[in-house]
């Protein structure tokens, strides 16, 4: 559905809350598929072995065991039951096989996403990776915040993974833009009930929550819950059907959701915003390093 810039900007003006997907919306699909996921595959065995005795990893393993038991019972391809009461050297190889199978099937289950989030935290804090954000995003977020909009995130990645990405982004620290985060613990993103739950938690009428996503299935689920939706078309996003195109306005940049005055401001301040955020990030990371040196856990 083609909309003029004025109509698109009007959609923003008519809502109180803007809810953002991440992959394919604020962040490139290639970053997720070519950096984040390969890191998990590459480092999974080592990470489990090195952190095995930690309380956090044991909780992750327990959650994965329950998920795997469900998958085996349901006949999920690639699932393999863990040895009962096995030692680390017996359990880790089977855990790796199950996690890789889940990733191969693009599963959105919470135990997988939680483990991935914990691994990415390690990588972000060590400076191995930094979160990709499209260059049109920071200026738009700043503009919407200045208008009094509440910004929230709803992503298949865990809340921790979301915060890590925006807390260690290529534009620096960006978490201050967001008031809340939601992941699949509230429900799958392709189910209408998930959006109804989020709206209830936000205490806002559904028509006052604008959802931005790259996936049509998510858009339809949100639409059925009463939310206005704009589809994001970026490099690598899935093609839309004629029905999708007729039902939803689509954008290729967040600047299309800004009016002319906002676009001018966004363009003139984009570079300054990036530098400011990077400086904030450096200060924050130096503080984290000092705290870590005093025994604080990451």
Q: How far apart are CA 84 and CA 69, in angstroms?
A: 11
Residue 215 CB neighbour total at 10 angstroms: 21
DSSP of 250-296, one letter per residue? EESSGGGGS-HHHHHHHHHHHHHHHHHHHHHHHHHHHHHHHHHHTT-
* pLDDT cut 90: percent of the chain above it: 81
pLDDT given at position 78: 94
- List the beta bridge partners of residue 270: none
What is the per-residue pLDDT for 263?
64
Contact (Cβ atoms closer than 8 angstroms) between residue 79 and residue 72: yes
Residues whose CB is less than 8 angstroms from the CB of residue 197 and which lie 6 or more positions away in sequence, other chains included: 186, 187
Cβ atoms of 146 and 114 within 8 Å: the answer is no
CB 152 within 8 A of CB 182: yes
Mean pLDDT throughout 18-32?
A: 96
Q: Are 113 and 183 in contact (CB under 8 A)?
A: yes
**Longest CA span, the chain:** 64
**Mean pLDDT across the stretch 24-38?**
95
Query: Tens digits of per-residue pLDDT, 131-171?
Result: 999 999 999 999 999 999 999 999 998 898 899 999 999 99
pLDDT digits (tens, 9 = 90+) for 160-217: 889 999 999 999 999 999 999 999 999 999 999 999 999 999 999 999 999 999 999 9
């Amino acid at each position: 559905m083609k909309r003029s810039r004025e109509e698109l900007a009007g959609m923003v003006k008519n809502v109180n809350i803007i809810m953002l997907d991440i992959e394919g919306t604020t962040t490139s699909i290639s970053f997720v598929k070519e950096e984040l996921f390969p890191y998990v595959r590459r480092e999974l065995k080592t990470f489990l072995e090195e952190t095995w005795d930690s309380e956090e990893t044991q909780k992750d393993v327990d959650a994965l065991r329950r998920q795997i038991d469900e998958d085996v019972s349901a006949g999920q391809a690639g699932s393999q039951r863990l040895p009962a009461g096995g030692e680390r050297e017996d359990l880790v190889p089977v855990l790796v096989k199950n996690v890789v199978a889940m990733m191969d099937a693009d599963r959105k289950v919470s135990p997988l996403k939680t483990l991935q989030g914990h691994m990415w935290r390690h990588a972000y804090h060590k400076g191995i990776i930094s979160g990709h954000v499209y260059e049109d995003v920071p200026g738009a977020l700043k503009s919407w915040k200045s208008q009094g909009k509440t910004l929230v995130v709803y992503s298949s990645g865990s809340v921790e993974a979301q915060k890590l990405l925006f807390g260690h982004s290529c534009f620096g620290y960006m978490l201050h833009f967001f008031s809340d985060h939601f992941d699949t613990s509230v429900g799958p993103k392709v189910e209408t009930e998930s959006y109804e739950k989020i709206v209830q938690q936000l205490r806002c009428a559904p028509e006052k929550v604008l959802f931005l996503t790259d996936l049509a299935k998510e858009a339809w689920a949100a639409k059925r819950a009463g939310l206005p939706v704009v589809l994001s078309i970026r490099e690598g996003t899935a093609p839309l059907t004629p029905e999708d195109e007729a039902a939803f306005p689509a954008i290729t940049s967040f600047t299309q959701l800004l009016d002319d005055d906002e676009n001018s401001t966004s363009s003139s301040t984009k570079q300054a915003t990036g530098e400011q955020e990077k400086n904030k990030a450096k200060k924050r990371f130096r503080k984290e390093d000092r705290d870590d040196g005093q025994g604080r856990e990451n």
